[in-house]
C-alpha cells in the first residue's frame, strides 16, 4: 500500500472508514463498532485463533502504515479522528475470547476504554512519545489489562 500517492486511503483507514469523524467520542464509537463487529462475526462463524491473530496483525500493520504516513508526511501526531488504534486495541482486548458472550464483550469494551482514556502507568509515557508507533502502541498497552480481566471473566462464566 503506497500511502504517499493516496492520502485519502490512509485517512479513510485511520478514521475507521469515517467513524473517527463523528463529533462525540470517536474512539469510543470505533471501539464499540469493533466489539459489535466481533460479536456478529463470532455469531456467524467460529473464529479460529489463527484468524483472530491474523485480523489483529492486519489491523496493527494498517495502523502503523497510516500513522507513519500521517506523522512523517503530514506532521500530524495523533488526531482525534485517528481511530484505527482504538479498533486494534479493542480487537486485542477480545483476542481469543468468546466474542459472542455479552458479559465478556462488555467487560473488555468498558475496561479497554477506561485504560485507554485514563492512560495509567507506562501507557501515558508511550502516548507522550513523538513517533508513529506510539499512536498504536498506547492503545495496545491499554488493551492488555482489559484482556486479562475479560479472560478471567470468561473462565468464571
Which carries the bigger pLDDT value, residue 79 or residue 96? 96
* DSSP element (H, E) containing 83: none
64 Rama sector, left if φ>0, alpha if ψ -120 to 50, beta otherwise:
alpha
pLDDT in tens, 89-112: 999 999 999 999 999 999 999 999
Prediction pTM value? 0.91
- Furthest CA-CA distance within the chain: 50
Q: What three-state secondary structure class fits 120?
A: coil
Q: Is 150:108 a contact under the CB 8 Å cutoff?
A: yes
Amino acid at each position: 500500500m503506497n500511502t504517499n500517492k493516496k492520502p485519502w486511503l490512509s485517512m479513510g483507514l485511520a478514521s475507521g472508514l469515517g467513524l473517527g469523524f463523528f463529533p462525540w467520542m470517536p474512539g469510543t464509537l470505533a471501539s464499540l463498532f469493533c466489539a459489535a463487529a466481533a460479536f456478529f462475526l463470532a455469531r456467524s462463524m467460529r473464529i479460529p485463533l489463527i484468524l483472530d491473530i491474523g485480523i489483529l496483525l492486519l489491523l496493527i500493520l494498517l495502523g502503523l502504515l497510516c500513522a507513519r504516513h500521517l506523522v512523517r508526511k503530514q506532521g500530524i501526531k495523533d488526531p482525534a479522528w485517528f481511530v484505527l488504534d482504538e479498533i486494534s486495541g479493542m480487537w486485542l482486548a477480545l483476542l481469543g475470547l468468546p466474542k459472542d458472550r455479552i458479559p465478556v464483550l462488555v467487560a473488555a469494551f468498558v475496561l479497554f476504554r477506561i485504560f485507554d482514556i485514563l492512560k495509567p502507568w507506562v501507557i501515558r509515557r508511550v502516548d507522550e512519545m513523538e513517533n508513529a508507533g506510539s499512536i498504536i502502541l498506547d492503545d495496545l498497552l491499554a488493551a492488555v489489562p482489559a484482556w486479562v480481566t475479560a479472560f478471567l471473566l470468561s473462565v468464571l462464566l
